[in-house]
Each structure stands twice: as C-alpha cells, then as structure tokens.
Structure 1
C-alpha cells in the first residue's frame, strides 16, 4: 500500500476515536450470557445479542439483533466483527420481498448486480464477482451458472473481501455471500405463498407465477424437529416472444436434533431443477442507444473470415430505429437447464464449558447445459465435497484471555466442462429483423469454424484450440487453520488467523484425443494466507477496527471453475503454476456503532484492495480498488424501519489490460463513416488489446446510494419505497460510451394480519429506460441490457 493511503486510513481511525471518546458512556444493552465464551463471561463489553424493546427477533431488520457466524467462525455481534459486512435478516427478506441477487444488493454497500448475460447468479462486491457459501461452506463456482434459491434461505450475509483463515478464500476474492438456511422450529407452523403477475401497463404483461409451501413441526420425542419447503415456478418472462421462460422446481428439507445437553445435530438437503435461459440483452451498444434508444440496423453479409481471423464485414450503420423494450439476442430454442443436489450435515459437541467441536460436511452436485444459436454451448458437471472440523476453546494464558479456533479442512472438486464460443461474435445480427432466430450456422455458413462432437451431439472445442474452459479436472485442497483473539484489556484485542492450503491438481483435455492433441498435466502447490485485526471498544456501543489480510486463491476457468490447461513455449498443455498464486491484499479500517437505545446501527469503512481476475480464454488481469462505505439501519418499532447505505469506489486496472470483443474500439464494427456519429472506421472485428494501463473498470459506478423505508399502520395496512442512485459508468475501457447517472425506484403496498397478508409491488415506478452494463470486459463493445419497464407484481400469504 502506498504511504498516502496508509496515512489516510490511520487518520480516519484516529479521528473516529477522538469523536467517540467525547461521547458519554452508554449503558450496556441486555445480552444473553449463554452466547458469550465463558472466559469472557464476566466482561460486560462482550456483546453477542442485542434486544430492541418492542421488536421481536423474528421481526427485526436490525443487524444488531443477529450474531454474525459467517466471517470468523464464531458467533459474534456485528460490533465485534472487524470487517465490513451486511446482514439481511429473515424479517428484511420477508419485508422487502427479496428473492434474487438484484434485490439484496441494495442492502449491502459496495455491492451491485450487473446484467451478467441476463443471468445474475452472483453479485459483484467491490468490483469483483462474489463467492457463494452455504452455512459457512463454499459451494461450487457459479458465475453465469444457476440462479440462487431463496426457498431454503432464512438470512443472508454479504461480506466485503475474502474469507478469513477459517473459511478460506475461493475463486473470487472481492467478497462472498453466505446463505443461512431455514432451521426447523419446535412449534408447528405452515405458510403458503402464491405469487401473481406481472402486469405491464404499456404492454408485455406475462404470467409470473410461483407457489411455495413451507411447513415445520417438532418430532414426538421433543428433541428433534423438521422443516420442509417446496417452491414451483412457471414464468413466461417479459421476453416470452423470444422464447424466454423461467421455470423451476425446488425442494428443501432441514432437520435438527438436540440429542443431549452436549450434542446437537443439524442437516439440510435440497434439490433444484431450473430452466432459466440467459437473456443476452442488446448488441451494438453506443452512446446514441443509451441516450436516445437508437439502434443501428442491418445484418452483416456472409463474407467468410477477415485477415484478423474473425467474422468479416461491418454493420452498415446507415439507418436506425427506436429499439423495442423487449429486444434481446435470444432465439426460440435456446436453453439453459440445470439440476442441483446438495446436502449438509453439522455436528456440534460441547466438550466442556470452555470447549466445543464443530464438524461440517457439505456435498454438492451440479449438472448444467446451455445452448444459444448465435453460437455458444456449454456443458458442465461440478461435484464438490468439503469436510471441516473446528476446535473452539476459551482460556487464559499469561494473564491474557484467548478465544481460539483451530482445525482442518478437506475439500475435493471434480469439474468436467465443454465449451464452444469460437463462432460467438454477437454484433452481426440485427435484433429488429423479422426473423428472430439468430443462428450462426444458418446465417454464416461460410464463416463457421466447426468443432468436435461432445455431450448431446453438440460441437465443442478442446483446450488445445485455446479453450481452457474445456477440461476434466480434479483438485484436492487440504488445509490447516488457526485463529486466536487475544484480549489485552477490556477495550483492546487482536484477532489473528493463519491458513495453510495444499493443492493437488490434475487436468485432462476431454477432447484431446479427438483433436489429436491429448493434453494432460498434474501440479502440486501450497499457499499461506493470514489475516490480522485490531479491535478497540471505545464504549460498549462503539467499536473501531483495523484489518489487514493476504489471501491466496486458485484461478479456475470462467464457465465451470475447473483447472485450466494452457499452451507453454514448447506447445505442451500444462497447468499454469501462476494460477495458484491469485493473491488478494486487503487493508481496511472502520467504525461500528449502536445508537438510540440499539434501534440504529451505523457502520463505516475505508479500504484498499489489490487482486486478480480471470477472463474468458484464461487470461489474467490485475485490479486495484480504493473506497469507502457507510451503512445505517434504523428500526424503533415493528411498524417502521429504514435503511440507508452509500459507497464510493475507485476501481481500476493495475497496469493491465483485457480482451474486448471487436478490439480496442467499438467503432471497428461499423462501416467507414457510418454508425453512431458517423465514427465507424470499417476495420471490422479485431482481437488486439489496448496497451496495459490504469483504465477505469467498465460498468462500475464511483458512487452508489441505496435507501428504503417501510411503515405499517395499526390496522395492518402499510407500504414503502426502495431506491438506488448510481453515478455514471464507463461502457468500455476507453469510455467510448457511458451509462449516465441513473435512479431505480420501487414501491410496495401491503395489508398484513396474523394469519394472512397481501403484498403488491410496483417496480420501476418512474418507468425509466435504465441500462445495465453486462459486467465483463469481453462484452464491453457488443452487449448491454435494458432494465424492465414499469410493472406490477404481488403475492398472497397464508399461515396456519
């Protein structure tokens, strides 16, 4: 980190400390003594659970009421957590109708959801894609993969930065999302929910229907309880005229048994089937399209290959039309199907008042297929197994109190993937033409590069053809970890952790024999990651922290997360040793406050982070980020709550570059003198990159502000608003177009009674034609997404 940044972080911490010291000491909020480690039981500053008068836990949206368990392996209050993280409680999920990534990022500063080829499966956190955890264990790689299920989710934690020594970092190091599953209740309860919609006033309405049955009850012995939730969905989508559907079947079950005072057993399992095609959005982005909706028409002729080794020809660019709101690069017959099976078992054994053992076992199998006529094909199988054992102990040594977590993890990943993107260009099709089947094989037979037959008879390309996403790989990842929080005084403690990872990888090209180039390789490696945090409790309700972390992760390919094979100088296919040196360096400082008798949570952080990211084809780019975040959650009663967060982030390439489809300029794709502003240069599709530099990251706003509120009258009627303001975003690396500052605003009305409720949601209230960047550099010049227009949705819920 540069010296000015260090000074900035230190100044921020000292300034906050001075301000907080001037405040009068507040009384200690009530806490549950059983939640605190015994060695700290007599220290009243150790807080694990806040109780806000008049707001039951199940109705609270305040993160102060829910301990965080998804960061440092223990149960600690948000004030005691020395990292920037946001909690979406069960009440907030229910209150705001959150059922997807785009809904929950509004409650976590520094998080956003790009279009992601029309399939937002994971959010971006601090400028990078996020990992996905389930009850503290990392799931399979899921970029562009399967839509997250909220059928079995009870709460969501969004963590900025990599996982700690306990959890380890994954493929992505910007941050992660931890989904906490629904736990059984020891009281009988059933909830039935039916969703209806969506009505679009200006046309384009569709039947967006889903249904859910969630039931729980205790067993006859009173020591066990179970829960079962089923959700089905039949959705035509706004793009139904293009064949766009969103159909799902989802079954979730959980079980808990308190065998005795020392042993607790928990299990959950889930099966999901999804048929959710990627809705690619609009090709040919430019400033006239963004500002005025002007779409330049005309298909490319079939001219074979250019001297650049790409599809020849340019967009005529002589005429334009007003682009329809449902225009998308999706053809009837395109599909994206997935079957997912996962199970998890957690055993907790209390060895003594100061010691316990926790063992977590996770198994997951993902089988997904994807095909687009334009032409992209993907077939992936992902099998993941992880077992982690943790020893928790609290004791005094050398006159200091310690809280230790130590143990080991064994993780196994098996990835089999086939891909075909050799004929994928996007820009050549006119979305407004009468024939909306965008088929490369039918439209450009003279410009078609044939692949090799793979699963289902589809054509794919081997790794030896420069497609490292086609791979059959295994990765054994054993790890040892230790973490200790040392209390130097009632106010000051040091939380430090270290993790040693071993990597044993093997990769084979499954099409190697067919291509007469049977690539295969093995590789062994190790990595040591660590994190350290100083925590200073100014008062029982105010905490300062400073954190530094160095975390290593493995680069996998961007379609399934498998180990890649790349060509070396001798023409051999090898596993790149540098793919095991993905280092994230994070420095962060912050303050966390409990105010107004615990009804207001406030947090703020500043940070700097350096990390890497892999793009399609296996190339790696270096990134750097600096930013600041503020978060407020206020809930004085069960009838009113409000949230506010703001984030500033300066995200840039760190003397690096990236591939943009078409080359350095989007005007390569237009005929000379035509297209937007007459700036077409007639070069056609190019493969060359810009020179390394400190380019702003496309699609990333410097400022994002989110806010929401909800109010319910005594009668049960209520409503609220939720909005987001985003500053301008560069469209590509040279900012040849940009997405201007935009406002997203949603409203909701409801009527709630103890046994039933009705909710009506009005989305995009202002009916603005907002645009969403696709989120990856490869598509900068060829894809952008239109947000959906004003629409009305709703649901009814019954409780028994």
Structure 2
C-alpha cells in the first residue's frame, strides 16, 4: 500500500509540474484517473471488503467535552433550523479554505438538501425561490443552466467546471447534498471563469459532517412520486458505513428514474441517474474519496413556446391563425427536404435592401387566416422533435492532513456529454465533448508570534483539458418560427428535415472540432486580524493553448484549422470588518479573463483567428453580512457593478455588457417551529455600444403587415445595422436586456410541528414576484409582472413520510421570454397549477 501511494503521488505531481502534449496529457491523466479512483476505494492490506464493522473499532468522529456557550448556541440553532436554512459548519467548497459564508466577503448562497425538499425545489429554475439574482429566462423550456445577475452562470460539480449545458438537458439536483451559488467570478482555485456567477453541486456522501463523522449504520430511503400530467418519479438512496482497521468511511449510492409527461403537450421527459460516492479516512491523516455520476435522458425537447407574438396575444390571448400554401411537400414524406426549400430559404434581412427578400408566395399566410385563442399547454412541438443525452462524471480526491493542520490535496475530475437533438423548425445539433482536470493544492495557516494575526493560504496548480465536437445547422436559411400555426399543429410544409434523416439533403453547416488546454497556478490568502478585520487576496496565472478546425459545409467563419497560445493573470481583493454586533461590511474587487466558447464548450475558428477567444471582465461589489440574535437572523445585502462579455453563437461577435444591481437575502429562525426566508434583487443589464449580434425581429419592427411575413423570418445581422434601416437611434446605442426582470422578490415561511409519538408534520408557503419583461427591440411586446404562490405540506410518521407540493397554487398566467436570438419572436407561457405527491420510506 505505501508503494502504491508513492506511485500515485508521483504521477499527480508530474501532472502539475510540466506542460505536456495533448496526447501525453490524455494518456497520463487517463491512467491517473483510474489509479486515483482505485485509491479512493482501496482498503489497507490485510483486510477484506466483506468484513463486518466491529463496534470496538474507533469511529472517526469528534464531540465537545464541555458544553460551552458556543455549543449551546449551535444546539439552539440546530433545534430551530428544521428546514436546513443555515450552514452548520465552515466549508472549503468555494475557497479551498474552511470559511463560513457569513464571513466570506462575497455574495453567495448556501442551499441544503433539506431546503430543496422543504421548498419543493426540483430544477435549477426553482432556485430563484431561495437565492437572489438567479431568475433564469427560458432556454427553450429546458432547465439546464442558471442565470446569475442577468447572465449565464457556469455549473460546477464538487468544485470542478462541467461541460456547457445551455438548454441541452435538465440538470439533475436531487443527488446533491448542498448547492452553493456564488455571485461574481469563480474563486482562483476553481479555475478561470467569467464574472456573473456559478452554481456548485456537491454530491451526497456517507460523511455526515466534520463533527459527527461518518454514518455508523446502513440507512437510506426510497421515494415514489406521482403528480399532474402523468408525473412518475422514483428515487433510491443508501449510505453504507465501512470501517477497516484504522480506516473509517463509507459508500453512498443514489439512483433516480423519471418517466413523465409534462404541462406542455408533446413533451414527455424521461431520465435515469445513478450516483455513487466513496470516502475513507485513516488515523494517520489520509483521506481517499471518489465518485461517479451517470445520467441519461430523452424527451427534454426544446421548444420556443408560442410564436407570432403580439401584444394582443399576451394581453387578450388572441393568436393569428393561417398557413402558407406556396410551398409543397413534393415527395410526400411529411417534411421539407433541402431541395424543396425556396431559393435562399425562408430568411429575409431588411439590411439587404431587398436583395435577400423571401418571395411573397412563400411568406404570405393565404389559408385559414383569422384569430383564435391558445392554451398555454400548446407550444411549438412535433413528433420529429427529439433530444437524447448521456453524461458521465467522475472525480477522485487524495488528501493528506498533517499534524499542524495543513492539508495537501490531489484531485482529478472527468466530465463528458453526448447529445443529439432536433427541433422541427429546422435546428439540428450533435454535441460530443469531454473534459479532464487535475488539481494539486496545499492549504496551511501561519500564526504571527505574539500578535492576534493569522493567515490562511491555499496555493496550487491545475490543468484543464477540453475536447469538443459541435455540429449544428442554421446558416442554410430554413428556420422560420412563425411559419407554423400552433393552433393547427405541425404540417409537412412547416416541418424541416435534418442531417439525422438520410436522404433529406441536409448537411452540417457547422462542424467544429475544438481542443483547448489551460494550465494555471493560483494562490489565495486570507488574513484574520484580531478576529475583527479579514483581508483576502487571490491571484491566478493561466497559460492557454487552443486549437480548432472547421469542417462544416456552410460556416461563415474562418475555415480550416486555427490555433493560438496566450496567457492571462486574474486577481481579486476583498476586505471585511467583523463588528461585535454581527454586522460585517465588506468590499470586493476582481478582474477576470475567460475563454469564449460555444454550446459544446468549443472555441470558434473565427474567434481564434481574430484573437477574441479571451475576454476580460471586472466586478466591484460592496455589501454587509448579518448574523444577529445568536445566529437566529442571518442575511446579506450586496450592491454590485460588473462588466462581462457575451458571445453571439451565430456571428461569433463578442459583446460587452454592464450590469448593476442590489441583492438582499434574509433567513430568520423565528421559533423552533417557524422560519422565514426572503430573497430579492433589483438589477439592470445592458449591452454597451449597441448589440452586435444576429437577431430575429417581428414584422411590426419594420412596419410590415404580419400576415405577409409570418410564412418566413426577418433577421438583423447587428443592431447598429437595424438603426440604419429603421432610422431609430435606439438600435445604435446601449441596449438594455429586458428579457431578465428588473426585480424578483421571494418570501417563504415554513412551519414544523413538535415531535410526537406518531411523528411530526409541517407546511411551507411561499410567493415569488417577477417584474415586467420584454424583448430587445425598440418597441417590444411586454410581458406583465406576476405573482406565483407555492405551497407544500407533509406528515412524517418516522419511517414513512407523505408530502404534497403544489406549484402555482392560484394558477397564475405568466410568460417567460427566450434567452437568446428569438427573444422578440417567441415566448414560453408559464406552467399552470401542478401538484405532486411523494411517499418516502426510510430504513
């Protein structure tokens, strides 16, 4: 065993100490991943896995000897915090150094699995109920990524960045023990990233906490859920303690099955999830850990929602009907082949001054023209739509704790994505990507002699490799959302073929093979002066190597192969004052540099050729953390201004944004039975210097008769170009992103009864307010503000638990704009009242 440990340490150190060729890196890290995963599960020699745990073997747990005031305070908090609202112990998940969020000079939110359960949070979009600044516009109805502070956030797992997920599949959160939402850039140990925010999912393990140690008995639970629209979901989870000699630890397994229909007709999601983690600690300070998560889904098809959007549709429910008969399905195969499209497709651009107009015969509605009303359940779908996804995630930790409190970590991470999708208005995509990251870090403290000053340090090196193949088609001009009459359903002449259908004549417009590597070193310092003044500084230096090849049939980009090398330095500085009254003001400033990548994590050849694949950002944030009445009332108030870039995936242009806002979060444990939370924010995000992106517009934007253009599409190559066409100076200046509401407020209360012989019961009620939203055009359709009420109740009979959740209790009508280039021509109607009943059996 010592020989194996030394070999593993040697390989990990080689990973951080040298820049390898891509092939050498992949070969080495592949072997290293296997070794580390084995190390996470290996037990000391002379033992066997089937040994029964002996009660005389010491369990790795600690307990206070004396009942100090601090322990009493924590006991009171623990008794009151039945919804898991407060962080019970300092965590090193975000900063690599154990530090409570209430003493961290950054805006961040902790969400436990108990809170997820109590508040009925099942998707990332639901997190707006507990975290300010996280309202997420529609990614075509698929709840994959979170928005933070008005922009797309990055998703992390166990502190490592995952493959991009912009509406590709629904991010599973049921297997998480906690979710941390960090507003602003990633911390230096996480690697480079954009200003805005991130979400980190921490998997469930057999370790209860630092104080309580590991589980001592096999336990777990089985759940079954039924609900509205044929919802069927089942989960199984169990923790198995395993102690061998001087080693304590355990294995935790979580599985989930979903086979449901949905509020939206034609969308029937299914997924399977299996997650397994193992963690062991020895008395000589070694910790071995590892985990696997396998996820497979189908049926999470993308939908733009409603098309032919007008203010009359939003205010009065009046939808314009009608189809175009100018185009025919000549071979009768049920869709339009590439050869059956009109010359130039369905896309017209007013910036061409008539040179690329779609002929009237193909764009005018001439059959069944009139009006009707739509059900919010009827959205843009067809039987040809599909989305199939498989992801595999692995991690391994090898940690050595020393007697002086310092800690040396060797960590590995692997994540892969395989997705094929098609939306029948004409967008096919095929993504195949994986990433491997290795990280070595050392944490240690320094105490200044005879002075009340302590400094904590986290220094390390990391290497992240990314390989992505992205195939998409949209440049051929066939996409025209308004062509379909949703009230009539899909027809052959508004349904397009794709490269997935042999003989349809369609090819991949975009076929990008992209590889990039980032090796970086980082250092973080946290100085505590007399437990009153906290000063934190972080820095990171990264060396990038990017290489992409474009093989698509119709890519308006730099062709062939493009490669480049570059480097960048990022840093942040933070200061917090800990007053004796639980009020902790802080100030933060950060500058970042991050890669610009597409939906598969790929880097465009054009961005490499013109040097725009790296972009800068900055954050200025001031705030106050609150911990009052012995921790009964906690909260945070923050004010920020940030600059960040956004990549247009169609044109490849990079636009700069500026965001400003204020956020307030409060958590109040009123009594041992009653608790409240408030999360609210006011924000405004705008594109600086106009918006240089490809975008779809309604016919009304240009003063056209909608019925003459609903059979086709109208686009702008840039907003500054639209200014010249319309004569409206609005398009030449700063553009506010009104797709994200200026204000979102959330208030929730939870009541839990006392414990009785039969068990206990409780209920949670909450309301969320979202202010008005709109598209980006000068005179857009406006979506009114709304309130959504949620309620849940449960009865816990010790081994059994029954819980009822009702979303949108009052059946409020509301609308969510699309996130990207269809923000003015499509909108997703909100889900109506939904219920689900969950039965849980614990063992």
Q: Deviations over 1:219-268 (max 9, x none)?
A: 2526231111111111122234x3x1100111110111112341111111
Q: What is the aligned partner in structure 1 of residue 770 from structure 2?
A: 726
Pick from 472, 481, 494: which aligns with 1:426? 481
8 Å Cα contact 2:507/2:553 also seen in 1: no
1:479 and 1:73 map into 2 onto residues whose CA distance is 16
1:416 and 1:673 map into 2 onto residues whose CA distance is 39
Alignment of 1:183 with 2:223, yes or no, is: no
Gap regions ≥5 residues in structure 1: 1-32, 37-43, 199-205, 443-450, 568-573
Q: What is the aligned partner in structure 2 of residue 621 from structure 1?
A: 655
Deviation at 1:155, TM superposition (A): 0.6
Deviation at 1:735, TM superposition (A): 3.9
Alignment of 1:391 with 2:391, yes or no, is: no
Pick from 713, 719, 724: which aligns with 1:690? 719
Q: What is the aligned partner in structure 2 of residue 650 from structure 1?
A: 684
Alignment of 1:239 with 2:242, yes or no, is: no
2:611 and 2:72 map into 1 onto residues whose CA distance is 45
Q: What is the aligned partner in structure 2 of residue 607 from structure 1?
A: 640
8 Å Cα contact 1:652/1:695 also seen in 2: yes
The 5 Å alignment of 1:219-618 reads 219-221=242-244, 223-240=248-265, 242=266, 244-275=267-298, 276-300=300-324, 301-302=326-327, 304-305=343-344, 307=354, 309=356, 311-313=358-360, 314=363, 316=365, 319-396=370-447, 400-422=453-475, 423-435=478-490, 439-441=494-496, 467=510, 470-511=511-552, 519-539=560-580, 541-557=582-598, 559-566=599-606, 575-580=609-614, 582-617=615-650, 618=652
1:547 and 1:34 map into 2 onto residues whose CA distance is 36
Return closer, same or farther for 1:363/1:774 CA change in 2, 3 Å cut-off.
Answer: same
2:706 and 2:394 map into 1 onto residues whose CA distance is 59
1:58 and 1:722 map into 2 onto residues whose CA distance is 17
Gap regions ≥5 residues in structure 2: 1-60, 207-214, 328-341, 349-353, 721-731
Deviation at 1:689, TM superposition (A): 2.9
8 Å Cα contact 1:767/1:790 also seen in 2: yes
1:750 and 1:612 map into 2 onto residues whose CA distance is 45
2:671 and 2:357 map into 1 onto residues whose CA distance is 62
8 Å Cα contact 2:559/2:605 also seen in 1: no
Deviation at 1:460, TM superposition (A): 6.5
Return closer, same or farther for 1:717/1:583 CA change in 2, 3 Å cut-off.
Answer: same
Return closer, same or farther for 1:295/1:610 CA change in 2, 3 Å cut-off.
Answer: same
2:447 and 2:503 map into 1 onto residues whose CA distance is 65
Q: What is the aligned partner in structure 2 of residue 9 from structure 1?
A: none
Deviation at 1:782, TM superposition (A): 1.7
Alignment of 1:195 with 2:195, yes or no, is: no
8 Å Cα contact 1:378/1:420 also seen in 2: yes
2:297 and 2:745 map into 1 onto residues whose CA distance is 33
2:799 and 2:505 map into 1 onto residues whose CA distance is 54
Return closer, same or farther for 1:516/1:236 CA change in 2, 3 Å cut-off.
Answer: closer
Deviation at 1:666, TM superposition (A): 4.5
Pick from 141, 149, 152: which aligns with 1:118? 141
1:609 and 1:758 map into 2 onto residues whose CA distance is 45
Return closer, same or farther for 1:745/1:169 CA change in 2, 3 Å cut-off.
Answer: farther
Return closer, same or farther for 1:437/1:393 CA change in 2, 3 Å cut-off.
Answer: farther
Pick from 763, 769, 786: which aligns with 2:813? 769
Pick from 67, 90, 96: which aligns with 1:73? 96
Q: What is the aligned partner in structure 1 of residue 785 from structure 2?
A: 741
Pick from 777, 793, 796: which aligns with 2:836? 793
1:517 and 1:120 map into 2 onto residues whose CA distance is 32
Return closer, same or farther for 1:48/1:265 CA change in 2, 3 Å cut-off.
Answer: farther
Deviation at 1:566, TM superposition (A): 1.8
Please give the root-mean-square deviation of Cα atoms over the aligned residues, in Å. 3.1
8 Å Cα contact 2:692/2:717 also seen in 1: no
Deviation at 1:379, TM superposition (A): 0.4
Alignment of 1:710 with 2:746, yes or no, is: no
Q: Deviations over 1:19-38 (max 9, x none)?
A: xxxxxxxxxxxxxx9999xx
2:238 and 2:284 map into 1 onto residues whose CA distance is 26
The 5 Å alignment of 1:19-30 reads none
Q: Deviations over 1:514-568 (max 9, x none)?
A: 99996101110111000000111112622111000001110012x212010129x
8 Å Cα contact 1:60/1:638 also seen in 2: no
SS of the counterpart of 1:122? coil
2:585 and 2:502 map into 1 onto residues whose CA distance is 57
SS of the counterpart of 2:140? helix
What TM-score, normalized by structure 1, do the two folds share?
Answer: 0.85
SS of the counterpart of 1:116? coil
2:72 and 2:431 map into 1 onto residues whose CA distance is 43
Return closer, same or farther for 1:645/1:503 CA change in 2, 3 Å cut-off.
Answer: same
Deviation at 1:71, TM superposition (A): 2.7
Deviation at 1:319, TM superposition (A): 2.4
8 Å Cα contact 1:55/1:638 also seen in 2: no
Pick from 805, 808, 825: which aligns with 1:782? 825
8 Å Cα contact 1:289/1:295 also seen in 2: yes
1:82 and 1:494 map into 2 onto residues whose CA distance is 9
2:568 and 2:609 map into 1 onto residues whose CA distance is 16
